[in-house]
Amino acid sequence: MIKSPLQIAREGYVPKMPKSLQGTVKIVEGDNTESVADQGKIKEMFPNTYGMPVITFEPGDSHGVSKVFNVGVILSGGQAPGGHNVIYGLFDGLKKLNPENKLYGFLGGPGGLVDNQYIEITVDMVAHYRNTGGFDIIGSGRTKLEKAEQFDKGLENCKKLNISALVIIGGDDSNTNAAVLAEYYAQKGAGIQVIGVPKTIDGDLKNEVIEASFGFDTAVKVYSELIGNIQRDANSAKKYWHFIKLMGRSASHICLECALQTQPNIAIISEEVEAKKLTLDDVVTYIADIVAKRAANGENFGTVLVPEGLVEFIPAMKKLIAELNDILAGNEEDISKFESNKEKRQFVAGKLSPESSEVFRSLPSSFANQLMLDRDPHGNVQVSMIETEKLLIDMVKAKLKKMKKEGKFKGKFSGQPHFFGYEGRCASPSNFDADYCYSLGNTASVLINEGKTGYMASVRNLTSPADEWIAGGVPVTMMMNMEKRHGEMKPVIQKALVELDGEPFRKFVEKRDEWALNTMYVYPGPIQYFGPSIVCDNTTKTLEFEQLK
């Protein structure tokens, strides 16, 4: 393996951990839990793993060696900085419990469990991946575990390796799969525990005991550096409006955090758009008005941050997409027979409600085609493929042209589109994510040793120094509700959206009008791994504001 000087230096970094994980551990159980919604239905579907208590770890005084057990680990879904450190922490935690414990990595995501593709993870292997980005140690994948045949095949493969526990590192959909798998194995008395770890750069897997999903911290710092670079260029050239689409399919946490870090002229928050029932034209008008006001001050440049999932939050578009999801799922064979996109659009438009059909027919053909693209394995529209930033540039340009004829705009407008997505998913983890992920991996090893299943590893109190963090476990069922997927109601982990009455959004609202008209850009620069704690170990603005004491 060829290593950069930074990677060589990072291999020597020793992640910080909560005091409760630094020695032996005592388990403290809280009150029994219930799901966030649809309690009766969730309890019925998860009779063996519903209602379990939240678990907190405290320093213990026992020094015995645990029994020997083998564990399998799976990286599921999109990459997020810190995944390697979860495995690093899990490996170290297992070996601390008993040096004879073994860790197997299933290759290419959940599909590796079903297809029995695996490697044994060794101390030499872990050494090469300490504090690095990416998921390349074992690879990831998006195979959805939802059928009994898959569960049974996975059980058969685990038995061959004498595996008694699985750790699934993933987002809300992947951890939903983990909960279903845990329930299935518990119901069968299979002797396989399942533990989840919260991963997603989108930041939408969180609640009162999962304060942050790993990877969010690093990703928003990478994006904020890029945005800062673009803003400095904009302020230098003074002739371009940069429309920057950011990852965040179902929530605007990334967009909000990057706005708080960089102070752009405009940041659209999808949840606010939905709450105010804004139309696409309303959003365009809002942007165009700010462009015109800045032009009146002689500033024909600026930055606009746009969440990739914006179109799903515009009420009329949300209704259209929901109908499209059902139509595409139920008419896949018929639609595949059409050779041209025009024929597909005409067929789909004929099956939509009158209101949605009108919206669909009014869209540019290229944009309508993007809305019809194949859904992901979880039934979601692939919003990263929808060029919202280009659509907004075209619509703002048209709006300004009309305003110029009316004498309401006398400046110039030139839009530049950007999409920051993959740039942040495999970055070298920040010190925060390196520490957090290592702690999550160790936490998972303790949950396994305690015989727990259907739990997600949890580390809280994240704005305090790492040795004051609180480790433990959270029943996955307490986060679940029923939602429509592929035309059917299914149990899923409820996504955490931006709270419009929350402190991070309130701080943004306090400042956005000032940022809109004045050039007040902040240039965060690259992630710092060495140096004063104030620049190396700082958390996100989101966590800082959410935990204001």
Let me know the angle formed at the C-alpha of 234 by 232 and 240, rounded to the nearest 5 degrees.
165
CA separation for the pair 412, 403 (Å, rounded): 12
Percent helix, strand, coil in the chain, to 5, is 45, 15, 35
Q: Which of 92, 172, 173, 202 is flagged as catalytic?
A: 202
CA separation for the pair 486, 506 (Å, rounded): 35
The whole-angstrom distance between residue 282's C-alpha and the CA centroid of its chain comes to: 28
Neighbour-count burial of 70, counting CB atoms closer than 10 A to its CB (0-12 exposed, 13-18 middle, 19+ buried): middle
Q: What are the CA-CA distances from residue 428 to residues 81, 230, 434, 526 (Å)?
A: 6, 21, 9, 11
- Residue 415, C-beta contacts closer than 8 angstroms, at least 6 positions apart: 240, 241, 242, 243, 393, 396, 397
Q: Which 8-state DSSP code applies to residue 374?
A: P
Q: Which residues pair with 305 in a beta bridge?
A: 244, 267
Q: Exposure string (b/e) for 261-278, b if CB count within 10 Å is 16 or more? A: bbbbbbbbbbbbbbeeeb
- In the residue annotation, 202 being an active-site residue is answered as yes
Antiparallel, parallel or unpaired: β 70-75 and 193-198: unpaired
Token output for 190? 């299979």
* Token pair 């990831």 in the structure block, residue: 140
CA nearest 493: which of 511, 475, 510, 514? 475
For 471: left if phi > 0, alpha if psi spans -120 to 50, otherwise beta; the answer is beta
CA separation for the pair 268, 442 (Å, rounded): 38
The residues that are catalytic are 202
